[in-house]
Amino acid sequence: MRAALLLFLLALLARGQTNPLAGDAAAIDVGKGNFRLYCAPCHGIHAQGGRGPDLTRGNFSAGNTDTDLFRVISAGVQGTDMTGYGERFDDQMIWRLVAFIRSAARVTPEMIAGDPAHGRAIFQGKGGCAACHATTAGPPQIGPSLDRVGRQRSLQYLREKLLDPNQSITPGYSTVAVKLPDGRTLRGIEIAFDDFSSQFMDVNRQFHSFRKEEAASIEREPTSLMPSDYGRRLTPSEQTDIVAYLSTLRGAQ
Amino acid sequence: MKTFLLLLTAVLLLKSGDETSWTTYGKNYAGWRYSELTQINPGTLSRLAPKWIFQTRAPSGMETTPLIQDGIMYVTGTSNHAWAIDLKSGKALWHYSKTPKKPLDLCCGEVNRGFAIAGDRLFKVNIEDTLVALDRLSGRVLWEVELGDYRKGYSGTVAPLVVRNLVVVGTAGAEFGIRGFVDAYDAATGKRVWRFYTIPMPGEPGGETWGSSAGASPNLRGGGSTWITGTYDPELNLIYWGTGNPGPDMNGDVRPGDNLYTCSLVALDADTGKLKWHFQFTPHDVHDWDAIGDPVLVDLKINGAVRKAVVQANRNGHYYALDRTNGKLLFVKPYTKVSWTKDFSADGRPVLVPGQEPREEGTLACPGLGGGHNWNATTYSPRTGWHYFSSEDGCHMFYRTEQQFVEGQWYQLSTVDWVKGEANKKSVVAVDASTGQVQWRRELAATPSGGMLSTASDLLFYGDSAGNLVALNARTGEPRWHFPTGSAISAPPVTYEFEGKQYISVASGNLVITFALID
């Protein structure tokens, strides 16, 4: 057994870490089951993307080789929601996932309609998006940084979030509302929230920390701080242009 | 009634030693996790603080129930680690470890739920599904036997149960097409004394509940894992053990029929392992609703008569009381939101709401995958007569998948997703064990993920996913005390008396923290 394992590892090295299970129907099959369990919550049940990137385009933000995919699944991608699964999955399981992801690639990549330049103008002007979202690497603003959002989110997800930000709130961006004993209410982005205290940052980028007993009430609100009326404030073509612009935000290439 | 309960308490507690020790998973054979100690009470709680912290330096995610005996604590960690810790100083007396075999296909990490103890011997399972006996004073291995083949998806996470000279143990792995079992081994030699398979083969009683057209040995994909410790009634000499889901979890096409003895409670003769009775909560389960909630033994006064009962908060959303002498249903009641049953027949068989099976495009069903209540340790207080447990109230979208079976590899054929716009509510629930009525439900921001402990001061302790160890008023659910431990808690707290003082210990992340009243 040990000798076999050694041979397997040597074979891997010799082959420059291509997937030893590439194209293996049984591996793809099992990989699909695992994908649905672990990956589908972010990448969608058909790998079509969602909160996580669309994996059916055959073009991956952290590299396109089998080794890249293996590394991403194993170690995650720093600065993104993609955590590493190396401690939970053994190599064979990761290769099965890689095999499935390769099999899920579509022949024609999704075409992006809209005018990115116009979308950028709306983002920075009429839409007021830039007030809360950074679009370049660097310190984030109050909302999620969008500097790599074109790699991280699917087009459909971006559109959904633009029109209905309350549909699913990005983890880490829940709204906390604290009613003070004097009647004032403070709102901000959740940093931590449990049954005894909450920590959050308000729109002026000030930290707050309250124990339950210091406030009249502390609640996690079911709504995002992001305005939910872009469906009315922007025309359909303006919405499409913004999505087109966001899809061009791909970070350092 | 109260006198009766007190008398009963005395009888059952005698079987598991005094309050200076905690020597079995559920504290007593009945699985109560209840302590008569009262030094830590609502009046003194404000002085409850850490006395020592033990750093295991092993991977996080401890689920262990610490055992306490003669001034020493015995804890198991993740990835085949275990320690003996001096209660006075918090120092390790010895450390056992064994590198887990690879590759391991696991549903839920290299976790372990604790030791069992008999005389000078400790028993634990290792993740590659072996049972190991250690010398209590040195941690030296006395014997180790294989329970199941890890290359075929078997794994070991459960805390064993010692019954006289037998070490009784189950297995995990129902997501990998295993054939579940409950085993008993001779504590002295490690020789297997009996095995009860939770999945009968064709021709055996129950074997006909797996269809006949799905190949030569469809039952071999059975599942029915036995990953949470059972309970034991010494008078009836019966062991009660819950069983997990059938395999594949959410696509029942290859296993037409009820799929005995999955999602069931089995009562086994302790000497022979022979099935005395079984009760299947969820026939032909397709939602992964394992029947592994603690099977708690209580004597209940129902309609004026005292009934020897076993109660369980089942993952399928219902609270059940069964006659533990014969397995007959006493009552069944939902304790959370349930979408899949209309009614029950007199014998407890659910009458199904049609269309609740997982589909390719998703099916909304309640409770969700983790059930109303999952595996986390529960507690029963004889003072209130209430059974306390964690609950997740809400639904999931259940998606079904097609996939070929490959031995030893994941075979769930499914996944779940949140219902858009609907957040499941986490709560602690108190249910009257003699009626099934919910007495109170405390909704929480953090999941009560760590299992429960109740005491004679009417305090209820549990750890949550935000890392707090929490004490609630057991009669009202009101919070009384909490301590942020710094890591999500997945293990139940225990309490015991040492040198005249009451202590509370809990594993949090990869630490063991011991609390006492600070003078």
Cβ–Cβ below 8 Å for B401 and A32: yes
pLDDT of residue B402: 76
Cβ–Cβ below 8 Å for A36 and B399: yes
Residues of A in contact with B470 (CB under 8 A): 195
Q: Is residue B409 part of a domain?
A: yes
Kindly identify which residue of chain B lies nearest to residue A38, measuring between CA atoms.
B415
Cβ–Cβ below 8 Å for B415 and A29: no
- Considering A103, A136, A156, which residue would you say is the last residue of a domain? A103
Kindly identify which residue of chain B lies nearest to residue A90, measuring between CA atoms.
B103
A152 & A236 share domain: yes
What's the number of domains chain A is made of?
A: 3
pLDDT tops 50 at residue B14: no
Q: Is residue B493 part of a domain?
A: no
A126 & A92 share domain: no
Going by C-beta distance under 8 Å and a sequence separation of 6 or more, which residues neighbour residue B434? Answer: B298, B300, B301, B302, B321, B385
Q: Is residue B274 part of a domain?
A: yes
pLDDT of residue B423: 81
Q: Are B64 and B200 in contact (CB under 8 A)?
A: no
The mean pLDDT of A21-48, rounded to a whole number, is 86
Give how far B357 is from chain A: nearest CA, Å: 17
**C-alpha–C-alpha distance, residues A58 and A106, integer Å:** 7
Q: Are B369 and B416 in contact (CB under 8 A)?
A: yes
State which residues form the domain around A129.
116-169+227-247
pLDDT of residue A13: 46
B181-186/B363-365 β-pairing: unpaired
B233 is catalytic: no
Dihedral (C-alpha) A145, A148, A150, A151: value to the nearest 10 degrees? -130
A65 & A6 share domain: yes
**CATH code assigned at B187:** 2.140.10.10
Chain A residues with at least one Cβ partner in B under 8 Å: 26, 29-30, 32-34, 36-37, 40-41, 45, 87-88, 90-93, 166-168, 192-196, 220, 222
Residues of A in contact with B401 (CB under 8 A): 32-33, 36
Choose the mutation target among B107, B150, B401, B489 for the interface with A, i.e. most A CBs under 10 Å.
B401
pLDDT of residue B311: 98
Q: Is residue A156 part of a domain?
A: yes
What's the number of domains chain B is made of?
A: 1
pLDDT of residue A180: 96
Q: Provide the residue type at B265 as one letter.
A: L
A8 & A61 share domain: yes
**B372-424 pLDDT tens trace:** 999 999 999 999 999 999 999 999 999 988 777 777 777 777 778 888 778 88
Q: Is residue B72 part of a domain?
A: yes
A185-193/A197-201 β-pairing: antiparallel
Cβ–Cβ below 8 Å for B410 and A30: yes
A157 & A124 share domain: yes
- Pull the structure tokens for residue B325: 């002498």
pLDDT of residue B195: 98
With cut-offs at 50, 70 and 90, classify the pLDDT of residue B360: confident
Cβ–Cβ below 8 Å for B403 and A193: no
pLDDT of residue B477: 98
A135 & A90 share domain: no
A135 & A238 share domain: yes
Cβ–Cβ below 8 Å for A168 and B420: yes
pLDDT of residue A4: 53
The mean pLDDT of A150-170, rounded to a whole number, is 85
A56 & A18 share domain: yes
**A43-61 pLDDT tens trace:** 888 888 878 888 887 778 7
Kindly identify which residue of chain A lies nearest to residue B405, measuring between CA atoms.
A30
**B455-464 pLDDT tens trace:** 999 999 999 9
CA–centroid distance for A100 within its chain: 20
Edge-first strand order for the sheet with B130-135 is B116-118, B121-126, B130-135, B141-146
Q: Is residue B394 part of a domain?
A: yes
**CATH code assigned at A187:** 2.30.30.100
A235 & A127 share domain: yes
Q: Are B247 and B219 in contact (CB under 8 A)?
A: no
Q: Are B122 and B115 in contact (CB under 8 A)?
A: yes
**A63-119 pLDDT tens trace:** 788 899 999 999 998 878 888 988 778 888 899 999 999 998 875 555 678 999 999
Q: Is residue B503 part of a domain?
A: no
Going by C-beta distance under 8 Å and a sequence separation of 6 or more, which residues neighbour residue A183? Answer: none
Q: Is residue B517 part of a domain?
A: no
Residue A165: Cβ within 10 Å count: 19
**C-alpha–C-alpha distance, residues B418 and A98, integer Å:** 25
**C-alpha–C-alpha distance, residues B332 and B316, integer Å:** 11
**B272-314 pLDDT tens trace:** 999 999 999 999 999 999 999 999 999 999 889 999 999 999 9
**C-alpha–C-alpha distance, residues B427 and A35, integer Å:** 30
A18 & A32 share domain: yes
pLDDT of residue B384: 97
pLDDT of residue B65: 98
Structure letter (DSSP) for residue B58: S
Q: What percent of chain B has pLDDT over 90?
A: 82
pLDDT of residue A110: 56
Q: Is residue B491 part of a domain?
A: no
pLDDT tops 60 at residue B237: yes
**C-alpha–C-alpha distance, residues A206 and A201, integer Å:** 5
With cut-offs at 50, 70 and 90, classify the pLDDT of residue B17: low
Give how far A87 is from chain B: nearest CA, Å: 8
Q: Provide the residue type at B388 as one letter.
A: Y
With cut-offs at 50, 70 and 90, classify the pLDDT of residue B254: confident
**CATH code assigned at A159:** 1.10.760.10
Q: Is residue A83 part of a domain?
A: yes
A185 & A238 share domain: no
State which residues form the domain around B226.
2-93+103-484
Kindly identify which residue of chain B lies nearest to residue A42, measuring between CA atoms.
B417
In DSSP notation, B306-351 reads: EEEEEEEE-TTSEEEEEETTT--EEEEEE-S---SEEEE-TTSPEE
**B147-202 pLDDT tens trace:** 999 999 999 999 999 999 999 999 999 888 899 999 999 999 999 999 999 999 88
Give how far B464 is from chain A: nearest CA, Å: 9
The mean pLDDT of B245-258, rounded to a whole number, is 89
Q: Is residue A108 part of a domain?
A: no
pLDDT of residue B220: 63
A83 & A9 share domain: yes
Q: Is residue A123 part of a domain?
A: yes
Which residue from B404, B410, B464 is facing A194, i.e. has the nearest CB?
B464
